[in-house]
Amino acid sequence: MLTVAIAALVLVILLSILHLRWRTRYGYPPADTPSVLCYHKITPRFCLEGTWTTPSRFLDQIDFLLTRGYVFLSEDEFYAALSSPFPDHAKKILLTFDDGYEETHDVFMEHLAPRGIPVLVFLVADYAGERNTWDISLGRRPFRHLSWEQVSRMSQKGASFGSHGARHLDLTRTAPDALEREVAGSRRAIADKTGKPVRSFSYPFGRYDAGVRAAVERAGFDGAFSLYPRHSNERIDRYAIRRNGVYVIDTRRNLRWKIERSPVFWFEEMKCRTINAAAVLTPILTQPSRGRGKQTRTFSCGRNEKGR
C-alpha cells in the first residue's frame, strides 16, 4: 500500500509540474479564431510511428464534429477568419493533411467532397506520384504520394494544396541554397502543376527557426503551419500557425479535448507536444546538419503499393 501511495504522489507531482509549465508558457488558444487539425496517413495498415488513423475512425471523428455543430473551412475562408477574430470562429475548423499520400485522394473524393468538406493538403513536391523513398520502410512496402492527376481531380472538387517542401527535410538543418529550393522552389513547382496560387507552407516535422520562417515569408506564402509552436498559444503568428495533431491513439474524446476549452485541454496538448517533440529524432538520426551532404531516409511504415 505504501508503494502505491508513493507512486500516486509522484504521479500527482509530475502532473502538477506539467500543468504549471503549460499554464505559464502556453495557455489556451484564442476563443475567437478557428482550430486547425492535422492528419497524416489515413490507412487500415499498422504504422509504427503512430501518425496515422484508420479510415473508419477518421470518418467517425468527422461525423462527430459535424454533430457537435462544427463547420469546416476552406483555406481562403480560414485566412479571412484569422484576420477577423469573432466568437463564432470557435466552431470552425480547417482540415489539413501533411505529406500528401494517395489515400487522401480516396478519402476526400469518396467521403469529404460529397459532404462539402474542403481540405488543405501539403505536398512533398519532388515526390508527386512516387513512393516515399525518403522514408525507411523497415521491410514493408512504402506509401505512394498523390500524383499530379489526383491533385487535379481533388482541386476540381474544392481541395487546396500547399507546400511541405521539395524533399521533406528538416529545414532547420538545411543549407541556405537548399533551403531556397525547398521553400520557394517547391512553391513554384506546385503552382506550375496546379495552375493555382500556393498560399500555405507546412514545416516538415513542424520544425522552423527565424531563418526558415523568413525564407517562407520571402517566398511569397501567405502563411505557414507548424504543429505546436514554442510561443504562447494566445499569440497568432501567420508564419507559425498552431495545429492539433491527430494520431491513431486519439478517440472522439481526445478530439474534443484538443479543440474545446475543457479542464483537460492542457493534458491533451502536452501529450501531443511530447509526441511532436519525439519526431525530431528522425532528422537528427538520418539527415546531415547544414551543408554536410545528402539527406538519408527517415522512418515510416508500410502499405500495399498501387499505381494510379
Query: For 152-171, what is each residue's pLDDT tens digit?
Result: 999 999 999 999 999 999 99
> Using one digit for the tens of pLDDT, what is the confidence trace for 170-229?
999 999 999 999 999 999 999 999 999 999 999 999 999 999 999 999 999 999 999 999
DSSP 100-113: -BTHHHHHIIIIIG
CA–CA separation, 292 vs 12, rounded Å? Answer: 45
Residue 284 burial (10 A CB sphere; 0-12, 13-18, 19+): exposed
Confidence of residue 13 (pLDDT cuts 50, 70, 90): confident
Residues 6, 304: Cα–Cα separation, whole Å: 48
pTM of the model: 0.90
Judged by phi (left if over 0) then psi (alpha if -120 to 50, else beta), residue 202 lies in beta
C-alpha cell at 298: 527517415
One-letter amino acid of 184? A
Cβ neighbours of residue 96 under 8 Å, at least 6 residues apart? Answer: 36, 37, 38, 39, 119, 120, 121, 122, 202, 225, 243
Q: Are 252 and 8 in contact (CB under 8 A)?
A: no
126 or 283, which is more confident: 126
Domains of the chain: 2-299 (3.20.20.370)
225/201 Cα distance (integer angstroms): 6
The rounded distance, in Å, linking the Cα atoms of 127 and 150 is 13
Confidence label for 7 from pLDDT (cuts 50, 70 and 90): confident
